[in-house]
Structure formats: structure tokens, C-alpha cells
Amino acid sequence: MRQEYHSRLLLELVQQRIAHGVQRQLIADAQRAEALLATLEPTKTYGYDFIATGVCGVRDFNAGVEVLPGVAWSSDLLLLIEDLSDAADIPAESVGQPVHTVDELCKMHNISTKTVSRWRRQGLVSRKFIFDGHRKRLGFLRSSVEAFIKANPEKVSRGERFSHMSEQDRDEILEVARRFASYGFTPSEVARRIAREINRSAETIRYTIRDYDREHPDKAIFPDKSAPLSDATKQQIAAYHAEGKSMGWLVRRFERSTSTIHRVINEQRARAIMELSLDFVDSLEFHGRDAERIIRAPLPQPETPPRRIKAPVGLPGYMAALYEMPLLTREQEYHLFRKYNYLKFRAGELRRGLKVGQPLSRLMEQIEALHAEAVATKNQIVQSNLRLVVSIAKRHLKSQEDFFQLISDGNMSLIRACEKFDYTRGNKFSTYASWSIIKNYGRTIPGEFKYRDRFRTAAEEIFLAAPDERADWYNQVAEQRQLEIQVGAMLHHLDDREQQIIIRRFGLNHKEEPLTLQQVGVLMGVTKERVRQIEVRALNKLKEVAALERIERPEAG
């Protein structure tokens, strides 16, 4: 028997009726209690004698005095009906009308068990019945269900929106919720927006998000403010900050204090610094007293300006510009390589004093500035030797090969050679770089194009479906511009999330290198598998658009 009665007198009455009553009497008491329940008004007060008379059919003159509001008596009568029916041991098939179980009621009205529980608290009468000859379970008379629906049409209509959802529906809700959360909306705002979009109750959305966050605290859409931040969440905060999100936006989005957000950003910044590649070729010059002044001095200029070499006729702008960059003299080459390695040496020395848990902003700024200067110095060396890549690539060009792909591969070899070159031995860098580029071509060219034909990616299939009938490779620059225009137009057929994933995965904004699935997932707050699924879907859309609009590679003019 339930003990949560508001009225002590009514609890005693139920105990007496169960102790001395027979099945028929208990069923009659429950029926009278249900009829009385329909007449009570929540805000009006009633005395115990009125309630007891309504349940038993006769007045108890010896009963004490107890006055409660209608809402309390309604709650007690629901308990009374369930307790009396439990004691009566009523077979479901003997009632004379259909009896619905909880599962059947859920299916009939497309609602969840939580909604059924809420309806019971709001006045839906439930009883205990014996099903299948032995098992006692909760049941609902059809007449009770119909009466509740008739009396509460708005509650029923709203409750039906708390329907069971498939895994796909749940994933879609969570995905949209994460996107809205990334815009800085609060949990309540997210729930209301999604509810309007998919015609479900806002409470259903809140429950779905809340349950997911409890089960996946490391990937929570709205992390627990009292719980420690996971590594994934910290990476997400740093990624949003790098994208230019304001401090106020980050505070609202992750519901943490400004000092916490600052601490996370600095910690992630320190971790990124610890992962910088600062390998260098050591030299005794680095440890001298005047090393800083001598090594970081301006680039020495030759006594006579170098003779400018005229670019061959017909070269596209990219390659013609290479001939405007003067070649380095031996002295300049030595100076730049010494500076490049010294800057990494100095950055590494400072990094030894960096503590990830308590990073100093000024120290991080110094390390980052040295690393940035080292990268700029390396780029200066590379740019001055790009003509070397072109000349070697031309010697390895075959009719079926992509010249620009050879240039790209050669540039990567040149960069790696720059990073590993030991300038202290006195050798010319061009000799070492040529050997490195040729060695790489010898390793990659024989099987590269055969492999490409067999394992062409989905992105390539979109744009390379048409036959390549170009007269020569110089016109590829113009064609590339045309392709970029076409790609931009095609991206408008994707939604915002699909566009962002395609742009980041393939580096289409020209501001950053293509990102991995994991990196995109961190930026967008989803798993890398989900990024892969959306990418496949977006690429399929682009294929359809390309087919419908008959997008082809432009012919050479």
C-alpha cells in the first residue's frame, strides 16, 4: 500500500476497507472514488467527511475533521483507486471493457512512458489488474482514458508531441542542438528553437539533450558547470577563440567564468607551443656573446646587384613571378640558414621554461615570435629556390602526368630539404635540394598515377568526369580560376554546416591547409565519424549538382 497520502484519515480509511472488504466492495469503492475525482476543483477546499462519503457511499459520523484543497484530495484519490484495485485482485478480462497496459497506451497515442507518468499525476486514473492469469500490472480502463482525454484535450495534444523518437531523430536533434549551442544560445533557447522546427515539445528536446550530456560528459552540448572541462572541450574553446569568437561569446557558450576561459586558452596555446617542431642544426656561433646581434643582423647585400633573368615566354603568372625573386649568393644563403636554425635554437631554449599548467603569456609571445620569424626565414629560402623545382620537374614531365602535381611534390621536397640541411658543412643548398627532389620523384612517379587512376577520391570525381583535352599545361592556371568560380557556385547548394566541412576538409578558403576529420570535428563539436558522414552526403549533393549543371573542366583557349 502506498504511504504518500496527504490525508492521514483517508489512509486509515483505505487500510480499513482493504482489511474488511471483499472484492466486489473494493471495486465499487474505486468506481465511486473515480466519479468523485471528476467533480473536484483544484483550488477549492473540501472536508474529509465529504470525501469519505463519496468513496464509501455512506457518511462516517465518527470521523475526525480534516480540510484539504482539491488538488491534495485528487492526488489521494488516485492513490486510493490504485491501492483498492491492487487488493481486489481483478483479472483484466473480467472487467467488461478493454484494459490498456502502459505500452499499449504509448502506442495508441504515440507517447512516451514519461508522458504516461505525467498524465497519471495530472488525473489519469490507473488500476492494478491481473494479466495472463498471474501477472499483476498497471492498467487503464478505456472509459478512464476517454474521460481524461475529453477533460484535458490540450494536455493530450501536447503530450503526443513527446513521442518515441528513433535513433536517427535523436541524432538529428543533438546535431542541431550542438550547432545552435555553437552560436551562443542558452539551453532553453536551443530547446525552443528546435521544438518549433520539428514540431516537438520543448521539454522533449530538453530531456534528450540533458540525457545525452549526462551519458557523454566529455562531449556534452552544455557541459556541467561544476564538472572539470574535458580535453575535447578545451580544444573546442581554443578552436573557437582562434576563429575570432569573442570572450563574451565563449563565456555564454560554455557557461564558465572569464578567468576559466582565459586559463583554458592559455593552456591550449602552451600545448600547441610544446608541439612545435624546433629541431635545429647546432653551431658554436649560437653560444657566443654577440650571437644575437650578429646572427639576426640584416641580410648582407652583394656589392653588385644580381643580373635579372628574363622569364621564358608563355609562362603563367605564378611561374613568371619566380624569376623576379633574385637567387641567393653563397654568403646570403649561409646567413639565412644560420639565422633559421638559431631562431629555432632560441625558441627551444625558452620553451624549456614553459609550464603548460601555468603558462606565462609573455614567454609564449616570445616563443611564438621566434618561431614565426624562423618560418618567415625558411619561406625566404624556399622562395628563392622555387625555380630549381620547376627546372627539375620539367625534366621529369611525361605526357600523361600533371605538371602542377610535380611542382607541388617538388615544393614539399624542397621544404623538407630546407628543414634538414646542415649549412655548417659548407655545401651548396641547391645541390642538396636537387638530390632530395630527384630522389622523391624517383620514389613517387612510377606508381603514383596508376594508384590515382585506381583510387580516385570522391572530390576528384566531381570535377574530373570530363575528358582532359587541353593543349598544354600552361593554361591550367586560368582553368583553375574557372573551377574555383564553379566550386563557389556549387557550394551554395549545401547548407551552412556542409559548406563549412567541405571548405575546411579541402582547404577551399585558401587561408589554411586542408584539415583532418578529427580537426574539423573539434572545431564543430562533433565526432570525426559524424564529420565523415556529412562530408559524404555533401559530396553526393555536389555530384548531383555537377551532373545537372553539366559542369566540365574548361577547354584551353
Is the pLDDT higher at 297 or at 153? 297
Look up cell 521539454; give the residue.
203
Q: Is the pLDDT assigned to residue 533 strictly greater than 90?
A: no
Q: Percent of the chain at pLDDT above 90? A: 36
Strands (E), 279-324: none
C-alpha cell of residue 9: 484519515
For 331, other C-beta atoms within 10 Å of its C-beta total 12
Tens-digit pLDDT profile for residues 234-277:
888 888 888 888 998 888 878 788 999 999 999 999 999 999 99
Q: What is the distance between the alpha carbons of residues 540 and 65, in angstroms, rounded to a whole number?
A: 75
- Mean pLDDT, residues 474-489 taken together: 56
Q: Over the stretch 293-336, which tens digit does the pLDDT of each residue have?
A: 999 999 998 888 777 777 666 666 666 777 777 888 899 999 99
Strand partners for 129: 90, 137
Specify burial of residue 338 (Cβ count, 10 A radius: 0-12, 13-18, 19+).
Answer: buried
Helix/strand/coil for 334: helix
Q: How far is CA 335 from CA 90, 263, 296, 328, 384, in A?
A: 98, 39, 9, 10, 14
What pLDDT does 284 receive? 92
SS3 77: helix
User: What stretches of 89-201 show up as alpha helix (H) in DSSP?
Assistant: 102-109, 113-121, 142-151, 153-159, 167-182, 187-198
Other C-beta atoms closer than 10 Å to the C-beta of 495 total 12
Residue 22's nearest CA partner among 88, 70, 98, 97 is 88
Query: For 486-532, how does the pLDDT look when each residue is reduced to its tens digit (9 = 90+)?
Result: 676 677 778 878 888 888 887 776 556 678 888 888 777 778 888 88
Domain limits, the chain:
8-151, 284-456, 463-549
Name which of 203, 213, 268 is nearest 242 in CA terms: 268
Answer whether 0.95 is exceeded by the pTM.
no
116 CB burial (10 A radius; 0-12, 13-18, 19+) = buried
- Mean of the per-residue pLDDT values of the chain: 82
Chain position carrying cell 587541353 = 470
Rounded Cα–Cα distance for residues 177 and 220 (Å): 11
473 pLDDT band, cuts 50/70/90, is very low
First CA to last CA distance, the chain: 91
Mention every residue, 6+ apart, whose C-beta is less than 8 A from residue 51.
7, 10, 36, 73, 76, 77
How many residues make up the chain in this entry? 557
For 284-456, CATH number?
1.20.120.1810
| pLDDT band with cut points at 50, 70 and 90 for residue 98 | very high
Joined together, the cell numbers standing for residue 295 give 646572427
- State which H helix or E strand residue 46 sits in: strand 45-47
DSSP letter at 105 equals H
**Full 3-state SS string of 452-488:** HHHCCCHHHHHHCCCCCCCCCHHHHHHHHHHHHHHHH
Q: Nearest-CA neighbor of 124 among 110, 113, 132?
A: 113
Cα angle at 396 between 393 and 401, to 5 degrees?
A: 90
Phi–psi pair at 90, nearest 5 degrees = -90, 120
Most confident stretch, 432-441, 527-536, 541-550: 432-441
Q: What is the residue whose three cell numbers read 582547404?
A: 507
- Give the architecture (CATH level 2) of 463-549: Orthogonal Bundle (1.10)
Residue carrying the nine cell digits 583510387: 455
Q: Residue 127: beta bridge partners?
A: 139
Does 426 score more than 60 pLDDT? yes
